[in-house]
Chains A and B, each alone.
Chain A
């Protein structure tokens, strides 16, 4: 290797890998600054995954968290591998669970806001996740507030077994009680929303929204491929397909989400 090439290699090694990103949808490569504050592919509009903190900043003017003391029950922590995952997720996200909940404001409009964070064990629905969401709906039922939930999840949390499955029922009945008071619930399904979350509160909104090219499904692609022994089409389980098949009310560009929510909250 010539001296020049070595220098170049040394220089390349200093460039962090994340300086260039590849869009998982259109496969286009571009300089990461091009993503902008909304972290959206400049080519196809796909929204890259956001942490709960980033999403909250883009979605509302004010946010006051609630129930931050709710954590995975002691009884699950004997599983050391799982306990380690929880600790790591807490550090990365600065959250105690896979969902951040609180009371938010856009302008003067107050509402309950729940935002799932994919960095917390793939946004999986654990017992404490379910507890935080149930409490959010219960609080907003009492206060007469609408609720917006941004789902982002691999589904029910395997490590908590059947207890995770029960959260689907627990949160659903809180959604139902909220609805019975004539209150609005907007569900925003973000990339990815799958499994037990799709099969419960993410598909229980008065209005179900999503973003361009978002992965939404119940069964995992690999399980389906194994069952039917063929590959489903490319647009399978993407927001555009769900819109066409009648399961979404609208697909909203990330940069428009806040103004659309403001409008819908004002109308209901």
Chain B
């Protein structure tokens, strides 16, 4: 077993804090808001408005289930187009009311289903990216567990992207990578090593900006919350043009 693959397994671990518990821990009050106001309500996307340090924020997230039933409903944390439409709707609402956005991500990737394709999975991810990049409010994304491909990027195009200590962010799963490039899914561990998907690698490649110590007790929860408050305050101070210019530079530099 390789070190990188240990990180993959830790990111997928059933012991990982659930997104609901994380939201409950960082907010003083939170109300879930449902639906995309167009077609449906994807349970894989958990979103709403809450307060952090007394200030309202919009939180959107992609979440796995806490048990088999929930996992089936949420497609093991794989969102459908309705889910991305819901997230984008609420992010645009946040912009309207000048609220910061916090996105919490734990997804192996967008759901590969027939209906998802019919309803425009590619289109909705594209729109989440292109519209998300221009939202003129502080926008923080945190990879909590798995950050799988375009399905994760859709909610990770803001001012700063953080990753939990036990998380991975990659173009596809190491199993998929090994299958496509080496025609052998059993080489997932070797793939993980090569893919530079650990928080440390991601930080040194400037894909992420910060590694968040794993949240597993009240102290680490409070530290995470404080880090979010500090970052929101820092981003709020920037005039909107400067906020957007800095964000633009963040994504322009990947060459």
Binding site for B on A (CB under 8 A): 73, 127-128, 130-131, 134, 156, 158-159, 161-170, 172-173, 175-176, 195-196, 198-204, 216-220, 223-224, 227-228, 232, 236-237, 241, 245-247
Contact = CB atoms under 8 A, between A and B. Distances in A.
Residue of B127, B197, B202 contacting most chain A CB atoms (<10 Å): B127
A224 B130 contact: no
A224 B133 CA distance: 29
B171 A218 contact: no
Nearest to B180: A158
Interface stretch (B2-10, B58-66, B114-122): B114-122
B205 A176 contact: no
B255 A127 contact: yes
A237 B113 CA distance: 11
Contact of B110 (A130, A131, A219, A237): A219
B251 A166 contact: yes
A240 B205 CA distance: 41
Interface in B146-162: 149-150, 153-154, 157
Interface of B: 110-114, 116-123, 125-127, 129-130, 133-134, 149-150, 153-154, 157, 169-172, 176-177, 180-181, 195-197, 202, 205, 207, 248, 251-252, 254-255
Given A161-B170, A168-B150, 13 more contacts: A158-B181, A159-B181, A162-B170, A165-B170, A166-B207, A166-B254, A172-B130, A173-B133, A196-B149, A196-B150, A219-B113, A219-B121, A224-B113
B205 A204 contact: no
Contact of A219 (B112, B129, B153, B252): B112
B112 A227 contact: yes
A247 B119 CA distance: 9
SS of B interface (majority) = helix
A204 B172 contact: no
Contacts of B134: 173, 176
B95 to A, nearest CB: 14
Nearest to B251: A169
A169 B133 contact: yes
SS of A interface (majority) = helix
B254 to A, nearest CB: 4
Residue of B112, B125, B127 contacting most chain A CB atoms (<10 Å): B112
A260 B251 CA distance: 34
B150 A217 contact: no
A217 B180 CA distance: 18
Contacts of B171: 156, 158, 161-162, 164-165
Given A169-B251, A176-B130, A217-B117, A162 B112 contact: no
B123 A163 contact: no
A227 B15 CA distance: 25
A79 B77 CA distance: 33
A200 B129 contact: yes
Given A158-B172, A165-B153, A228 B113 contact: yes
B74 to A, nearest CB: 14
Contacts of A195: 150
A57 B120 CA distance: 32
30 contacts: A73-B255, A134-B252, A156-B149, A162-B170, A162-B196, A165-B150, A165-B153, A165-B170, A166-B251, A168-B129, A169-B129, A172-B126, A173-B248, A173-B252, A176-B134, A195-B150, A198-B122, A198-B123, A199-B122, A200-B150, A218-B112, A218-B116, A218-B117, A218-B150, A219-B110, A219-B116, A224-B114, A224-B117, A227-B111, A228-B114
A219 B176 CA distance: 12
Given A170-B252, A219-B112, A236-B117, A162 B126 contact: no
Contacts of A167: 254
A237 B116 CA distance: 11
A204 B157 CA distance: 16
B80 to A, nearest CB: 11
Contacts of A166: 207, 251, 254
Contacts of A128: 255
Contacts of B150: 156, 165, 168, 195-196, 199-200, 218
Nearest to B156: A169
Given A130-B254, A158-B172, A158-B181, A203 B117 contact: no
